[in-house]
Amino acid sequence: METLILTRLFPEEIAEALNLEPYRGRQIFRWLHKKRVFDVENMTDLSKELRNQIAEKCVLVQSQIAHIRESFLSDTKKILLKYRDGQFVECVVITHRNRVTFCISTQVGCPLGCAFCATGKVGFKRNLNAGEIVEQVLHLLSFVDLGKKNPNIVYMGMGEPFWNYDEVTRSIKLLMHQLGVNIGARRITVSTAGDVKGIMKFADEDWQVRLSVSLHSADDNLRSRLVPLNRKYPLNKLAEALHYYQEKTNRMFTFEYVLLSGVNDSLEDADALLQYAKQFKCNVNIIPWNPVAGLNFQPPSKEACEKFQNYLTQGGLNATMRREHGQDIEAACGQLRRIFLDSTQNCNHHQ
């Protein structure tokens, strides 16, 4: 008999799988997603018999916290989770002023191999199921006192979300469920490296979840070197998909642009970006690169960052610079995992 993974099921699916009344499915879902109780013995409104049945047939939680790093420079915590098969992923909680953001992963490793990324160096291990994705949020919630606020959730950790499309969209629906975490769609952002097929599908979804696209260069030659996915979906194909997205949804999206010294941070690079981005209703988020051991890039100077940003702003784009959170804790995605694994075995999608 196949083991039931409860954190990836909706209330009605739980009830059906365990042959229960619908309200029982809602009760169990609430225990997991709202109260974050993962020990069936603590689900006090379930009968002993039902608790035994759940313990016998189901996996309640697939992950445990393996390691936590706190930043001394900013209010950022990086959490390494270990899954049942021994694989690790990382997720991050960033508190800035009144805003709490969770950055979560969708794959173990990543198949896209972007040149500047710690995760890309690891290669691809496997997709996460929707429950494993949701559990990152459930764990991160225990690290923050949100009061009545909701966190923002960005699918910007390890992995390309659109290469795990069905489980990613299922996890979003689970996180938005009223009986669970109940996050508003506009608080969720999915970040892709430019998977055109995924963008088109995402445009057809009936929700207001936000989109961001990791661009990093508006020149095909350079972008193909930095983001190899560009060879499959070059800038003109990406532009077609983004036009389709905006026609269908009428929503803004964000271009993420990691600045690498001497690679993509000149005013010519800024101008190419300006010309490309101007055809859309979009924002640009500039991210100064965080050094990653073993990668031969340099972070840009403060002056280069400011010049780059000013050029875009003067050209009429809304260009923000992401503050560097948690540089002292290897907050670029994939870094903690690598450093941890390096130190135990011998642990920037988006950065």
Active site residues: 90, 333
Q: Which residue is nearest to ligand SF4 (CB)?
A: 349
Residue 260: CB minimum distance to ligand SF4, A: 12
Q: How many angstroms separate the Cα of 21 from the Cα of each of 18, 88, 140, 169?
A: 9, 36, 31, 26
On the 0-12 / 13-18 / 19+ scale of CB atoms within 10 A, 138 is buried
Q: Which is nearer to ligand SF4, 24 or 350 (CB)?
A: 350
Q: Which is nearer to ligand SF4, 110 or 168 (CB)?
A: 110
Residues that bind ligand SF4 (CB under 6 A): 110, 112-114, 117, 119-120, 158-160, 193, 333, 348-350
Residue 169: CB minimum distance to ligand SF4, A: 18
Q: Which is nearer to ligand SF4, 132 or 160 (CB)?
A: 160
Q: Which is nearer to ligand SF4, 95 or 171 (CB)?
A: 171
- Are the beta carbons of 11 and 29 closer than 8 angstroms? yes
Angle at 52 between CA 49 and CA 54, to 5 degrees: 110
Task: Report the alpha-carbon distance of residue 208 to residue 189 in Å, rounded.
Answer: 9
321 beta partners: 286
Distance of CA 307 to the CA centre of its chain: 29
3-state secondary structure of 292: coil
Residue 158: CB minimum distance to ligand SF4, A: 5
Residue 114: CB minimum distance to ligand SF4, A: 3
CB under 8 Å, gap of 24 or more: what pairs does 335-339 form?
A: 335/118, 335/290, 335/292, 336/67, 336/69, 336/78, 336/80, 336/90, 337/80, 337/88, 337/89, 337/90, 337/118, 337/119, 337/122, 337/158, 338/118, 338/121, 338/122, 338/293
Rg (CA), the chain: 21
Residues 6+ apart with CB under 8 A from 75: 94, 95, 96, 325
Q: Which amino acid is at 184?
A: G
Q: Which is nearer to ligand SF4, 135 or 195 (CB)?
A: 195
Q: Which two tokens stand for residue 152?
A: 């923002």
DSSP state of 26: H
Task: Report the alpha-carbon distance of residue 205 to residue 66 in Å, rounded.
Answer: 35
* E strand or H helix at 139: helix 130-141
Q: Which is nearer to ligand SF4, 18 or 112 (CB)?
A: 112
Residue 289: CB minimum distance to ligand SF4, A: 11
Q: Which is nearer to ligand SF4, 10 or 116 (CB)?
A: 116
Residue 128: CB minimum distance to ligand SF4, A: 13
Residue 222: CB minimum distance to ligand SF4, A: 15
